Amino acid sequence: MPRIQQLDAHVADLIAAGEVVERPASVVKELVENAIDAGASAVVVELRRGGMGLIRVSDNGCGIASEELPAAFLRHATSKLRAAEDLGRIGTLGFRGEALAAISAVSRVDIRTRRREDTVGASLHLEGGVPGEVEAAGAPEGTTILVRDLFYNTPARLKFMKKDSAETAAVSGLMQHLALSHPDISFKFLKDGADTLHTPGDGRLNSAVYAALGRDFARGLLAVQGRGGDVEVSGFITAPLQGRGSRGMQSFFVNGRFIKSQLLTAALEEGYRNQLMKGKFPGCVLAVTLPVNQVDVNVHPAKTQVKFAQEKAVFDAVYHTVLDALDQRGGPLFPAARPAEAAVNPRGDFFQAMDSKTFREQGGEASKPARGDRVPFRPVWDTERPSASVRLSDSAPERPLESLGPLGSVPERSPEPLRRSKSGPERPAREQRSPFPPMRQDAPPSVVRWKPAIPQAPERPAIPQGELPGQAALQPPAPWRIAGEVLRTYIICESEDGCVYLIDKHAAHERINFERLKSSTEPPMRQALLTPAAVELGREEAALLLENLPLLEEFGFSCEDFGGGAILVREVPADVDAGDASAILEEIAANLREGRSPAERRENLLHTMACKAAIKGGWTSSPEELRVLVDKVQSGEVKYCPHGRPVAVKLTKNELEKMFKRA
Ligand code: ADP
Ligand code: MG
């Protein structure tokens, strides 16, 4: 029988420390929260080597009496809580009395502190939680804590530390939130000696937003202020047209504490319902203030979650505050001139999703573009058109359907360097074109059921003899007849054996893109932006992206640091909308943050890129585009979208007959 023993205090402390101190950012969080609780008006955070070298937090708060200094490092030692009933009304950020104990258990700590009323301060050194002697020391008013050799005595944890830059990124994001949570405190963050964040501490939230989140983000914000019962809501939200690509720019503070809350996110987003483009998220800096007995902050060791006593009241207060602010702007918030029915594929050409390999193979080196340029491209079949061409509609390009080849291999490019504006007038051909192939009353269905033949163009490399024994047996099956498209999203097809298929065109295209990107060994085609775009992201997001520049390059983005949480984008992949660059980069940053392993991060990135390069439900698609999608689904190449949703549903004749009570 195993003997049950109580762990000795040292091991127990290390275990407890693991919960509070997960990484350098957790140390910074706890130390800065202590500084805020100490009433500081200025806090300086210094980080070296992502915090693994050194973390120093200085404040000008109340300081600690020298005789109490060792006690501050004991577990469950706090000045903020006395009795159980106090737990129901916590007004400070800290209350567990665990942070200093936990931090000192896993590092080497030096503290120097002086209260205003003392002439001499005190210092103390601790190693692995073991304190030395308290010594008298000269010190400015306030407290400075220096943490070195984090996790030196817990090798298991040390092993799991990410790269220094990832840790720095996490601390940068945290500092942003801390600075936003207390505009009345001046925060300064020095990273390896460089000043990267400095808020004035003038008590104005917009000053803090400007300093922490950047000018561009601050400019697009609407001020909000509202109250519902005991719940007060104030801060800033993004205008509907400034929707973001992820939730990374949503910051919520409850009684001065940065928290993550699905309830608050839901309330915010509900306020924007029908006002934001699909796939976009609002950004915000929202402070929710309510009586301390209405919120339980003791639900998470890192104190990043809270529980509201009256969830509905909080939801309603946030929702109505947001809604009112958006309503007050007057007029349509989102240009209603582009309802779903009128949405035109804002991409130039669906088929331009071509990889550079195909481009080189078909365009030849002679026509190789300057990096990123859109090049007028003459496919080989322009000169020699197979006779079996079929025109689907009047304005459709006179181009043989057979020659469309694999998706993305037939660019009909315009020489312009950038994507056309979303509804630019220079696209009459597509806008006037009916989304459906014209009804062919004059011709029997068999005429429409063309047989895709192997392209005749002689320039194409001939398939070596002998590789295709029994050519006839390989004749592709008759293609599905496209009956039409409904809701500008679903393609309706009929197969020869009497089944009806509904295909989700976005999902199908996304899958095709995903496979193409996944299997491509060539770098993607890029487009150079006429003017490089400065994309404002959060500091954490920007740092994550900068740390992954080679990966971004691989995906077709050419970016560089622009300072202050912004990234300068020079090139984007050719098959995404240049105007989407900022949203895509935000989403990529979210992918990078969430991915647990390099493989998972890469896969997530592929998803994002595949989705962004795909046609969307609601866009007008040409018959040729629909045909390519249908053929891919028919051939079984495409079954599920990368997110696992089906791309097609099938209705058999029998099922239809049952529905109509014929069978
Ligand atoms: P908690 O913050 O939950 O009380 P900590 O372990 O973080 O627990 O801190 C223990 C105590 O040390 C605090 O309650 C506070 O009295 C004191 N203390 C810690 N940091 C500071 C600081 N920067 N300035 C003044 N007092 C501090
Ligand atoms: Mg604390």
Q: What is the mean pLDDT of residues 300-311?
A: 85
Q: Residue 343 pLDDT more than 70?
A: no
Share of the chain above pLDDT 90, in %: 35
How far apart are the CA of 252 and the centre of ligand 2, in A? 20
Query: Which of 37, 114, 126, 257 most suits a substitution to test ligand 1, by most atoms within 8 Å of the C-beta?
Result: 37
Residue 246 banded pLDDT, cuts 50, 70, 90:
confident
Strands 648-651 and 500-504: antiparallel
CB 543, CB 169: distance < 8 Å: yes
d(CA 402, CA 396): 14
What's the whole-model pTM score? 0.58
Share of the chain above pLDDT 70, in %: 77
- Neighbouring residues of the ion ligand 2, judged by CB less than 5 Å: 34, 94, 99
- Largest CA-CA distance found in the chain, in angstroms, rounded: 102
Angle 473-351-610 from CA coordinates, rounded to 5°: 95
CB 500, CB 492: distance < 8 Å: yes
CB 333, CB 275: distance < 8 Å: yes
State residue 475's pLDDT score: 57
Tens-place pLDDT, residues 367-391: 333 333 332 222 222 223 333 322 3
Structure tokens given for 186: 């001046």
**Environment class of 370 (CB within 10 Å of its CB; exposed 0-12, middle 13-18, buried 19+):** exposed
Nearest bound ligand to the CA of residue 103: 1
Residue 565 banded pLDDT, cuts 50, 70, 90:
confident
Atom of ligand 1 nearest to the CA of 99: 6
Atom of ligand 1 nearest to the CA of 81: 4
How far apart are the CA of 31 and the centre of ligand 1, in A? 8
How far apart are the CA of 34 and the centre of ligand 1, in A? 5
Tens-place pLDDT, residues 525-562: 888 887 888 888 888 888 889 988 988 988 889 999 88
State residue 280's pLDDT score: 83
Q: Residue 148 pLDDT more than 60?
A: yes
Atom of ligand 1 nearest to the CA of 63: 25
Tens-place pLDDT, residues 399-423: 332 332 333 232 333 333 333 333 3
Q: Residue 40 pLDDT more than 80?
A: yes
Identify the residues whose C-beta falls under 6 Å from ligand 1: 30, 34-35, 38, 59, 61-64, 72, 77-80, 94-101, 143
Residue type, 256: G
Residue 102 banded pLDDT, cuts 50, 70, 90:
very high
Answer with the residue of higher pLDDT: 138 or 276.
138
State the alpha helices, DSSP H only, in 455-580. 505-519, 539-547, 549-554
Lowest-pLDDT choice from 43-52, 436-445, 608-617? 436-445
Answer with the residue of higher pLDDT: 265 or 240.
265
d(CA 261, CA 453): 57
Strands 558-563 and 526-536: unpaired
Residue 216 banded pLDDT, cuts 50, 70, 90:
confident
CB 521, CB 357: distance < 8 Å: yes
Helix or strand run (H / E) with residue 151: none
Atom of ligand 1 nearest to the CA of 143: 23
> CB under 8 Å, gap of 24 or more: what pairs does 221-226 form?
221/283, 221/285, 222/325, 222/326, 222/329, 223/325, 224/286, 224/321, 224/322, 224/324, 224/325, 225/321, 226/317, 226/320, 226/321, 226/324, 226/325
